[in-house]
Structure 1
Amino acid sequence: MKKLLILSVVCVTLVYSCKPKQEEFGVEISTDANQILKGKALFEQNCSTCHNFNEDAIGPNLSGITRQIETQWIREFIKNPAAAIEAKDPRAVELLEKYKSQMPGFPNLTDQDIEALLSYLHTFETIPLEIVGDTTSNLIQEKIQDSGIRVELELFAQLPASDSVPPLAKMTKMEPIPGSKRLFINDQRVGLYELENQKPTLYLNLKEKRPAMVSKPGWATGVGSFAFHPDFETNGLFYTSHTEPGGTKPSDFGYTDSLSVFMQWVLTEWKAEDPKAKVFKGTDREILRIDNASQAHGMQELTFNPTSKKGDPDYGLLYIGYGDGGTAEKRFAGISNHNGAGIYSSILRIDPAGTDGKNGKYGIPKINPFAGMKGKAGEVVAYGFRNPNRIFWDEAGQLYATDIGQHSIEEINRIEPGKFYGWPVREGTFVINPYGSFRTLYPLPEDDAKLGVSYPLIQLEHDETVAIIGGYLVSEGPLKGKFVFGDVPSGRLFFADLKDFPSPQVKTWGVRFEGKEVSMKTLVNHDRVDLKFGLDAEKNVYIMSKTEGKVYKFK
């Protein structure tokens, strides 16, 4: 997901112009070998998805940073970057402006952890060359206009805090059981809650059921998604995805042993003894386990086609959004650039009731475009996505997906079976070199058609949004018929009419709360909104924020 990370902290491109070069920093940092090894492990666990020592990526290049910034500043910024931004610290403000997203704090790191990180960082002596300006700005000249639409919100529900610091609760999804008014929401650290009369009751304590589950270092980790079978009320079946440490169990899908496995994503089927029960009791089975190179871009979406009816070939088939697992950032682009032969960077579709899948625990639907094809992954519906974090359908049954980009472009894609959507050699309608700088994009070549890329229905540059999150089609009010979506960190809100194919126009909208127009940051009382959307059985749309664990309903 796109979040500035841990060592954004130290990362500073800004620093280079802030301090005289003759000052010597980091002389007090320990060079103890054991401490360096501990710091390396902490860096790989918390920072490596967004930082490296070669170039700026999602966050800044960290090579030589401890020799350019006061050590105490680095310590304090790791602990609480929000405080530095609030105090208008020049370095912190410049980081925020350059990378478009506020880095989360890491209060869980002890003083000893931070000293170990500093020791590891201090082993990189090269001072990185400063990139002047943003090499990918103004690729899309037309700016998004405000619609003037403001939607009144009301507080609907509050999840119990699962941590003492923001984000207080980590919801990613809120949807009803199909055919029912029962409404469920997840907390990535805990499991599934049912919201009844706007009050949460813990339905499935997944952490208790799966003690190996981890929800740190954060972002996408923990309980990533859930989906109730369309016949849940009779068969009691539902599905969850969650993360466990790399190597917990043998995986069903992996990659070259040259790249370490940081985490595993696990797909589980649960069968409730009594589908009407308020607390889960029943059986479960693991369906699928996939190796992931980082904490990012894994199994963040599970869903069934809500427009499919009994008897349709798509009915009861489970869709899975699976990203590149952070492999491109680690320079293993071939793992996701697989021409349909692999499962990474793909939208998958499986039959949970089948047995002809790779491990015999699920089936390959015959309607899948690569089913039965030698050298292809039969699970794949479409491929070429960096992080397809939201899969949805319009009222006509057309499939779409939002895809979080690397440094420059966010996408909404209209999905056609068997098609390639560009990643990691395209970002939006631009060329990207997955073995070069992620911050530089190039025009499409004249012979681009031979690559067979399907390009986005909607693409937005990072001066508009830095981490797209899909919402829902609105059924009532001034946004009726429009698809609403937004920016995860800032909470900026957008809409488009998907019926205006092939060129839907995007506009912004805003919210009012208790009669006053407010920004999302003001509403959630934090500079990082952590925006998500929800939907109930009556098709009412909700806005959710992890920051305070609150859910707001469209009035």
Structure 2
Amino acid sequence: MRKLRWCPLAITALLASLVAVPPAASAQQAAPAAPILDPIPEDPAPAGLGLVLEKVAQLPESETSAPPTDDRLKRRNRINHLGELPDRSGRLYVPDLNGKLYFLDKKTRTPSTYLDVGATFAPDFYSAAGLGQGFGFVAFHPDFAKNGTFYTTHVERGDALETEEPDLPEQPNTGYHGVLTEWTADDPSAGTFHGTHREVLRFGFSGRIHNLQQIDFNPNAGRGDADYGMLYIAVGDGGNGNVGANGGDPQNLAVPQGKILRIDPSGTNGVNGEYGVPADNPFVGEDGVLGEIYAYGMRDPHRFSWDTRGSKRLFLAHIGEHEIESIHEIEPGDNLGWSEREGAFTFREDDRCHLYPLPEDDEKYGYNYPLAAYDHDPPADWNCRSDVGKAISGGYVYRGAKLPALRGKYLFGDIVNGRLFYTEESQMRRDPAGRDRAQIYELSAYTTSGEPVTMQDMAGDERVDLRIGSDAKGEPYLLSKANGTIWKVVDTREFAECRTGPARVGHATGARDWSPVTPDKWRFEHGQVVLAEAGEARPGPRRPFEYAVLKKGPAFASAQIDAEVRLDTPVSESNRDVIVVFGYRDDTHFYYAHLSSDNTIYPHNGIFLVNGADRVRIDRQWNANRSKGAPPAVTDAGWHDVRVRHCAGTGEIAVHVDGADRPVFTALDTTLGSGRVGFGSFDNIGRLRDLTVRGTPAR
């Protein structure tokens, strides 16, 4: 449904009606909505799964068209996509925002320059300001093998602003042109471009960010389909589509900014005769509306992709302003709501720091709200007018054959910090109310030797500038501008996947099997280890008050601990907990998994290390900016299955509850490589039964 617009007469009538409201009625109006301080409370959950990365290539160094004023542009190069040519040659292509299009050899993956877009359009070609400026994207026609046709986008400044005119309505105070170009290669199989090019469309933007983003063809469309050969163009809002003269551009159907356009590059009925407007576009024939528009209401429509061999849906990764990084399904005529909505929240021009609840009558507008989203969670001292350093890097639904653990998952990441995510395509459903969002899971990363790493490690920089691509078979690749490197995902690996054997300890519920801190507080009966009396704080570092260490069997290096635990402290009491100890050396050196009903305070519900000092939280799930952790592990007085896996070699620790495939907590720490197992609490009571420990005896 399209957004309603107000004409001047309607506004005058509305103001008059407001003036006429009696004082008593005005006093009964609802108070203004309060800002939402944590728009998306649920954080990405641990996937318990990692991607094994193999380095494929490192692209040559490149420079911007002029010295950049923004340090974020000072990268080895600015590679921003990877795909495979649609000609069965096996060649991969990689565009660099600084101007060159590279091909990677099928066998060696050695890069070579196919086309220098920057040099072709110099001196007007511009890549020296704005994170997306320069040679933005490339899309090869499905028939490239025969017709040699492909399309690029790039940015121009300089004399072009005086000598060239945008074809579609430009923004006031235009400072940059975005240009769509068609290229035709004389020999599609050649390793270097020789041929011709022509300009298809020129856009005018006032700002240096959110220019032209991705362009692409629908891979699900075959010859004879209405969508075959239609080119989709993601057009940003110019960086200020929410304020000033450009405020409202994403909602204005008379301009191209803040939209996804759909054109026929082989047609001629467009405004300049260089392209066509498909007759089945959603707004064709409407007065005052651009027929090129396919969907609208966007800030930075960064990356889109179609689900191939699956639902065939079109997904868009959308970069937000205040807080929301989101994934949307796009259908003809959809309106994402920007700049009146950010994600499923109200955006207000008068408050640059917060989002607000949706109005009660919101569903009448028909906005397209996210299928999945995460928020920024900035620190308390964050300057809300600055970049918080989070932005979604869109990917695609994996339907390949080599990585069965990823099938059906929409893979994506964060551009800045390089975190890797997925959400299940089957759980990505539209919700007009904006409340039903698919859970996001965070993936780990590994080298081919099994070493846990982060993308910041791999990129050698805190700012990764992550991008995700794929080959023709749907196999994924990761790219970083920081060091200009490309990695292929060659395998998957479970988190904390290590050999836990050959030793096994079980049937350990007798008093002789355990060494408690305070023996009088414990009972060993009916096959259970019972902490019957709450512990008390002891001198020394802050650590669990009362626990018992398993004496039976050896100390373990890598180990898997399986048991059932129960909290006997009444549910009516707060801060209930039990702990599972591992890596125990002595009373001030050990790890423990804290299972609690409270996830809002630092010492609860996570994985901790006691290393001769107060316990330190080491799990990856604690969000310090919001003072919250993973969902509470134990909330009742029933028995719960608990599994703790500790891989001494890598330092991986995973805690699973009630047989869940995915862990509730994960950590990475190599401080203590081995030790004994235990059970206890801080100041609560509880019990354990059916304990089994499998592991590698410590040397």
- Where on the TM-score scale, by shorter chain, does this alignment land: which range? 0.7 to 0.9
The aligned residue for residue 549 of structure 1 is: 484
The aligned residue for residue 94 of structure 2 is: 185
- Return the offset for 1:470: 0.7
User: Does residue 400 of structure 1 match 2:315?
Assistant: yes
User: Does residue 472 of structure 1 match 2:399?
Assistant: no
Distance across 2 between alignment mates of 1:341 and 1:260: 18
The aligned residue for residue 150 of structure 1 is: 50
- Secondary structure of the 1:499 match is helix
What is the TM-score of this pair, normalised by structure 2?
Answer: 0.58
- Return the offset for 1:504: 2.7
- Return the offset for 1:166: 4.2
- Secondary structure of the 2:427 match is coil
The aligned residue for residue 549 of structure 2 is: none
The aligned residue for residue 198 of structure 1 is: 109
- Return the offset for 1:179: 4.2
- Secondary structure of the 1:203 match is strand
- Secondary structure of the 1:332 match is helix
Aligned pairs, how many? 419
- Secondary structure of the 1:375 match is coil
User: Does residue 242 of structure 1 match 2:150?
Assistant: no
Residue type at the aligned position of 2:121: R
Instruction: Report if aligned partners of 2:251, 2:339 keep a CA contact under 8 Å in 1.
Output: no
Instruction: Report if aligned partners of 1:166, 1:548 keep a CA contact under 8 Å in 2.
Output: no
Identity, in percent, stands at: 40
The aligned residue for residue 300 of structure 1 is: 213
- Secondary structure of the 2:328 match is strand
The aligned residue for residue 520 of structure 1 is: 455
- Secondary structure of the 2:369 match is coil
- Secondary structure of the 2:363 match is helix
Instruction: Report if aligned partners of 1:333, 1:424 keep a CA contact under 8 Å in 2.
Output: no
2:62 is aligned, of 152, 157, 162, to 162
- Secondary structure of the 2:300 match is coil
The aligned residue for residue 46 of structure 1 is: none
Give a deviation string over 1:304-327, Cα, whole Å, max 9, x none: 001111110000000000010113
Superposition map of 1:22-421 within 5 A = 137-163=37-63, 166-180=74-88, 181-196=90-105, 197-211=108-122, 212-245=124-157, 246-247=161-162, 249-255=164-170, 259-328=172-241, 330-395=243-308, 396-421=311-336
Give a deviation string over 1:71-95, Cα, whole Å, max 9, x none: xxxxxxxxxxxxxxxxxxxxxxxxx
Structure 2: give runs of 5+ residues left out of the alignment: 1-34, 65-72, 379-388, 430-436, 491-699
The aligned residue for residue 13 of structure 1 is: none
Distance across 2 between alignment mates of 1:444 and 1:136: 11
Give the direction of change, closer, same or farther, for the CA distance of 1:158–1:366 in structure 2 (3 Å limit).
same
Point out 4+ residue stretches in structure 1 off by more than 6 angstroms: none
- Secondary structure of the 2:425 match is coil
2:439 is aligned, of 494, 505, 521, to 505
The aligned residue for residue 457 of structure 1 is: 371
- Return the offset for 1:255: 3.7
Distance across 2 between alignment mates of 1:295 and 1:287: 21
Residue type at the aligned position of 1:507: Y
The aligned residue for residue 92 of structure 1 is: none
- Return the offset for 1:292: 0.8
The aligned residue for residue 414 of structure 2 is: 487
The aligned residue for residue 441 of structure 1 is: 355
Query: Which one has the bigger helix percentage?
Result: 1
Higher relative contact order (CA 8 A, sep 6+): 1
Distance across 2 between alignment mates of 1:492 and 1:144: 10
Give the direction of change, closer, same or farther, for the CA distance of 1:247–1:335 in structure 2 (3 Å limit).
farther
Instruction: Report if aligned partners of 2:413, 2:421 keep a CA contact under 8 Å in 1.
Output: yes
- Return the offset for 1:330: 4.5
Distance across 2 between alignment mates of 1:459 and 1:333: 26
Which stretch shows the higher mean deviation, 271-280 or 136-145? 136-145
Give a deviation string over 1:137-161, Cα, whole Å, max 9, x none: 4221222211111111010011000
What is the TM-score of this pair, normalised by structure 1?
Answer: 0.73
Give the direction of change, closer, same or farther, for the CA distance of 1:242–1:352 in structure 2 (3 Å limit).
same
Instruction: Report if aligned partners of 1:227, 1:304 keep a CA contact under 8 Å in 2.
Output: yes
Give a deviation string over 1:493-530, Cα, whole Å, max 9, x none: 11011122324321000110142101111111111000
Distance across 1 between alignment mates of 2:109 and 2:143: 25
Residue type at the aligned position of 2:45: Q
Instruction: Report if aligned partners of 1:335, 1:342 keep a CA contact under 8 Å in 2.
Output: no
Give a deviation string over 1:190-212, Cα, whole Å, max 9, x none: 22100002111100011121112
- Return the offset for 1:335: 4.6
Structure 1: give runs of 5+ residues left out of the alignment: 1-134
Give a deviation string over 1:348-399, Cα, whole Å, max 9, x none: 1000010111111100011110122222111011100101111111123211
Distance across 2 between alignment mates of 1:532 and 1:370: 32
Distance across 2 between alignment mates of 1:203 and 1:385: 33
Instruction: Report if aligned partners of 1:230, 1:316 keep a CA contact under 8 Å in 2.
Output: yes
- Return the offset for 1:451: 2.2
Residue type at the aligned position of 1:506: I
- Return the offset for 1:136: 5.3
Distance across 2 between alignment mates of 1:394 and 1:504: 16
Instruction: Report if aligned partners of 2:322, 2:355 keep a CA contact under 8 Å in 1.
Output: no
- Secondary structure of the 1:523 match is helix
- Pick the structure with greater CA Rg: 2
Residue type at the aligned position of 2:287: K
Query: Which one has the bigger strand percentage?
Result: 2
Instruction: Report if aligned partners of 1:288, 1:361 keep a CA contact under 8 Å in 2.
Output: yes
Distance across 1 between alignment mates of 2:240 and 2:77: 28
Distance across 1 between alignment mates of 2:191 and 2:394: 29
Instruction: Report if aligned partners of 2:242, 2:248 keep a CA contact under 8 Å in 1.
Output: no
Distance across 2 between alignment mates of 1:264 and 1:239: 16
Residue type at the aligned position of 1:207: G
Distance across 2 between alignment mates of 1:137 and 1:241: 38
Which stretch shows the higher mean deviation, 329-338 or 500-509? 329-338
Instruction: Report if aligned partners of 1:166, 1:546 keep a CA contact under 8 Å in 2.
Output: no
The aligned residue for residue 471 of structure 2 is: 536
Instruction: Report if aligned partners of 1:408, 1:439 keep a CA contact under 8 Å in 2.
Output: no
Residue type at the aligned position of 1:468: I
